[in-house]
Amino acid sequence: MIVCKKRSSVSWPSTASNLDILISILWRLSLGLSLVACQLFSPYSLADTDAQNNGHYSEHQVKAIYLYHFANFVHWPDPAPKSIRYCTFGNDTVTLILKQILYKKSQPNRSTSVTTIVSLNQARGNCEVLYITKSKLQTLQTIPQLSGVLTVSDSQHFLQHGGMIELRSVNSQIKPAIALNNVTKGQLTISSRLLRVALPPTDLKGRRK
């Protein structure tokens, strides 16, 4: 579990209506805010000042929120996509939560969709953001850098396989590790705002804590 140490906070909403409230709040988040997991949820926490317990969010929930927001911090080659197509190679808890989020909200000024693909060849020209599950990564030797496709996973050694962003658990927080050389090969550019909260490049080859 991810623990956000705040004076007042609330747990991840369990009902459909509460999930809709949370997604609406996430929709209004300023792009200038840090993507650190606890800060992502701070507006919701402030809405309930009577809450006394620390907020607890599962790693899967935090990873899905990161995955949803990455599209706001990536620049695609011209012409910029008018819609953001999320693709998942494999299915797990993160993909399930992502689909729930995208069912409720799209990206600002852009439509969104989510599709499960059965081979990486399908990602070319059909995906802007591609999430690869741990089980699927085990079947691959390398991750191709497809032009205009941001590849993300929470699997260890994903970057060494050619992936672009790996979601790591570091000191009870989910942090993105970014392989800029792989991003460049995919003709993408990462916003400096995301780079500021990512793990330093010296940590990219380190083991998970």
Under 8 Å CB-to-CB from 30, ≥6 apart: which residues? none
Rg (C-alpha) for the chain, rounded Å, is 16
Handedness of CA 19, 23, 24, 26 (dihedral sign): positive
User: pLDDT tens for residues 121-157?
Assistant: 999 999 999 999 999 998 998 898 899 999 999 998 8
For residues 11 and 112, membership in a common domain is answered with: no
User: pLDDT tens for residues 26-71?
Assistant: 444 333 333 344 444 333 332 222 222 234 568 888 899 899 989 9
- In the chain, DSSP finds a helix count (H) and a strand count (E) of 8, 10
Q: Does residue 51 fall inside a structural domain?
A: yes
Q: Global pTM? A: 0.74
The first and second tokens of residue 186, run together, are 């995919």
For residues 124 and 178, membership in a common domain is answered with: yes
Domain count, the chain: 2
Q: How many residues does the chain have?
A: 209
Q: Does residue 113 fall inside a structural domain?
A: yes
Q: Does residue 208 fall inside a structural domain?
A: no
For residues 98 and 48, membership in a common domain is answered with: no
Residues spanned by the domain of 105: 60-202
Q: How confident is the model at residue 108 (pLDDT cuts 50, 70, 90)?
A: low
For residues 72 and 103, membership in a common domain is answered with: yes
For residues 67 and 126, membership in a common domain is answered with: yes
For residues 100 and 185, membership in a common domain is answered with: yes
For residues 146 and 183, membership in a common domain is answered with: yes
Question: C-alpha dihedral over 161, 162, 166, 168, to 10 degrees?
Answer: 30
